[in-house]
Amino acid sequence: MNEFTKMISDNIVIILIGVIVLIIILFGIYAFLLSKKLKLLNQKYGKFMSGAQGEGLEAVLLSCLNKIEGEEMVNKEQNKRIKDIYNRLMYCTQKTGFLRYNAFNNVGSDQSYSIAFLDQTDTGVILSGIYGREHSTTYSKSVEKGQSKYPLSDEEEKALALAKEEHIKHVGK
């Protein structure tokens, strides 16, 4: 039996040595692969830290922050311009009311007209053209905040009302 145990113990030693050698080989392969991966990671880290033109990460971040601040200044300036344009547009013609009518019974085809041009505050002008066979006359009347200090004809009142409704309408009498 002694011989049998010696044979088993010799085999166990050989198996153990084989397993240890295999572990050492696998550890070597693992260390080699890990070093390759670490080298690749170091290259990527180096590129990241050196920036696009060789500057450091801090310089890249400062450059980005400066660009953002510059864009904020541009946005503030554009917002000022937009507000200025909006304020100016309040006083541009935004509402129009148009009415054609026949001022005289003996003249046909609704040749007379009244047009109201108003801004956002209902301030503007009413133009009226009265067409007759013998003569034509044009009148203008100022409007402030929806009211005229001059007496308005029925047609001018309708044109003003149409403009206040913010519609451009062509209406016959």
What is the separation, in whole angstroms, between the first and last Cα of the chain? 132
Structural domain range at position 111: 95-171
Q: What is the per-residue pLDDT for 169?
A: 46
pLDDT score of 63: 85
147 and 85 in one domain?
Answer: no
Cβ–Cβ under 8 Å, residues 107 and 133: yes
> Is residue 118 included in any domain, yes or no?
yes
Tell me, yes or no, whether 102 and 161 share the same domain.
Answer: yes
- Over its C-alpha atoms, the chain yields an Rg (Å, rounded) of 46
* pLDDT tens by residue, 126-143: 999 998 878 889 999 999
Co-location of 163 and 104 in the same domain: yes
Q: Residue 156 in 3-state DSSP? A: helix
User: Rounded to the nearest 5 degrees, what angle is found at the Cα of 75, between the Cα atoms of 71 and 80?
Assistant: 150
What are the tens digits of pLDDT across the range 65-115?
Answer: 999 999 999 999 999 999 999 888 888 988 999 999 988 877 667 889 999
Average pLDDT, the chain: 86
Specify whether 85 is located in the same domain as 110.
Answer: no
User: Tell me, what's the pLDDT at 53?
Assistant: 63
Mean pLDDT within 31-36: 95
What is the tally of structural domains in the chain? Answer: 2
Does residue 138 lie in a domain region? yes
DSSP-based three-state secondary structure for 119: coil
Predicted pLDDT at 163 = 92
Out of 89, 116, 142, a domain closes at 89
The pLDDT of residue 3 is above 80 = no
> Residues 6 or more apart from 142 whose CB is under 8 A from it?
124, 125, 148, 149, 150
